[in-house]
Structure 1
Amino acid sequence: MKSILTTTAAFALLTGAGLADDRGMEFRLGVTAHDLADHVEDGPNVTLDLLFASPDFLDAIWSPRPYLYGSFNTNGLTNFGGTGLAWDFEVAENLNFEFRTGLTYNDGVEDIDPNSPPGDPTRIRLATTRSLMGNEILFHNAIGLDYDLNERWSVGAYYEHISHGQILASGRNQALDNAGIRFGYRFGN
C-alpha cells in the first residue's frame, strides 16, 4: 500500500500541486458511519483527504482534481486508502457537488476459507463480524455536497462505496458503503 500511495503522491505533486486553479490544494478531515449496507462491521471511520489542483492535461475531461484518501476504522476493522480523480460542479453560490472515482487498497478480509467446516469458530466469527471484500484492490466511488463557509473553509456531507464490481475480482463482493461529514481547508491564493 505504501508504494501505491507514494507513487500517487509523487504523480499528483509533479502534475497538479504546482498548477494553481481557483480551488488549489485542499485538505479534508471527516468522519463516516461505516458499513451502512450490510452493517456487519461497526464503528465510525476517520477520513483524511488531500486534493490537488487539476493539471492542464485533464482539461479535456472537465478538469478533475487528483486526490489521496484514507479511511481508518476506529474499531480496528477494515481500513482503506486510495487515489483517483474528483470532479467539482458548482450547484449554487458557495455550494458544490463532487463526484469521484478511483482505486483503493484495503486491509479487510477477502473471504472465508472454503475448506473450513461450517461450525469452525473462525469461520463463524468472520461471517458475522467482517465484511468479506473479495479483493485487496477495489473501486472507490463517492458523491458529496460541500458548502464554502469562506474562501478557505468548507463543510460537507458525502457517501462512498468501495467494491470490486466483479471487474477487479470475481466471487465474494460484500463491499462497503459509508456516509459522513467532512471539513475542508484550502491552501494558497
Structure 2
Amino acid sequence: MRLRITALLAATLAFGLPATAHADEVYGGVYAHGVDTPFTFDTGEGGADLQVGYRFDPIAGLESLGGPQPYVFGSVNSGGDTNFAGVGVSWKAEIGKLYLRPGVGLVIHDAPDLRVDPATGMRTDLGSRVLFEPELAIGVDLDPRWSLEASWVHISNARLFNSEQNPGIDMMGLRLNYRM
C-alpha cells in the first residue's frame, strides 16, 4: 500500500505540474494526525504526518479572484494510518509580515475501504477514495525567502460521495516554506 501511495504522489507531481511553470514555494511540515475537532468523528487514527508540497506562482489572469496559487502535496503518516496526496489552490492575504492562507483541494488516500469501530458499530472509514481537502494557515514571513505557518488540514467526502459516511480526519501542525 505504501508503494501505491508513493507512486500516486509521483504521478500527481509529474502530471500536475505545468511544463513551463517554476516553483514559487516548497514547503514541509509536521502534523498531529487525527485531531478531534467538531468537523470529525474519532477514526481511531493517530501518529504524526510528514507533509511536503510545492506551490506555484499565482494563476495568471485570476488576480481579480485574489491570485490563487495552485499546489501539489503529499502526506505520510508515521503510525501506518492514512496517507494522502493531492492538488488544490490557496490564497495568501497579507497584513504586514503576518498572513492568512485559506485553501481547498482534492486528495486521494490509502485508508481502508471499510472500517468499523468494534465498540460502537459505527463506520469510521472515509467513505470515498477521493476526498475534499479544505485547509487554513496563519503564517509569518521570517525574511524575504522563509515563512512559518500554523496549519489545519481536513480531509473528508463532505457526504457528497457517500451520504451515509463522513468521519473525516483533521491534522494540525507547523510547516516551513521556502520561496524560490
> SS where residue 92 of structure 2 aligns?
strand
Asked if residue 93 in structure 1 is aligned to residue 93 in structure 2, the reply is: no
Structure 1 residue 60: deviation in Å? Answer: 3.5
Between the aligned partners of 1:42 and 1:89, the Cα distance in structure 2 is 31
Asked if residue 56 in structure 1 is aligned to residue 60 in structure 2, the reply is: yes
Tell me if the contact between 1:8 and 1:83 (Cα under 8 Å) persists in the aligned partners.
no
TM-score, normalising length: structure 2: 0.83
- For the aligned residues, what is the CA RMSD? 2.5
Structure 1 residue 46: deviation in Å? Answer: 0.5
Say how many residue pairs are matched.
169
Asked if residue 149 in structure 1 is aligned to residue 142 in structure 2, the reply is: yes
Between the aligned partners of 1:169 and 1:71, the Cα distance in structure 2 is 23
> SS where residue 63 of structure 2 aligns?
helix
Alignment match, 1:69: 73
Q: Percent identity?
A: 31
Alignment match, 1:169: 162
Asked if residue 102 in structure 1 is aligned to residue 95 in structure 2, the reply is: no
Structure 1 residue 55: deviation in Å? Answer: 2.2
Alignment match, 2:24: 25
AA in 1 matched with 2:99: N
> SS where residue 62 of structure 2 aligns?
helix
TM-score, normalising length: structure 1: 0.79
User: Which structure would you say has the larger Rg?
Assistant: 1
Structure 1 residue 79: deviation in Å? Answer: 0.4
Between the aligned partners of 1:6 and 1:60, the Cα distance in structure 2 is 31
> SS where residue 154 of structure 1 aligns?
strand
List, as ranges, runs of 4+ consecutive aligned residues in structure 1 with deviation greater than 3 Å: 1-12
Moved more, 38-47 or 25-34: 38-47
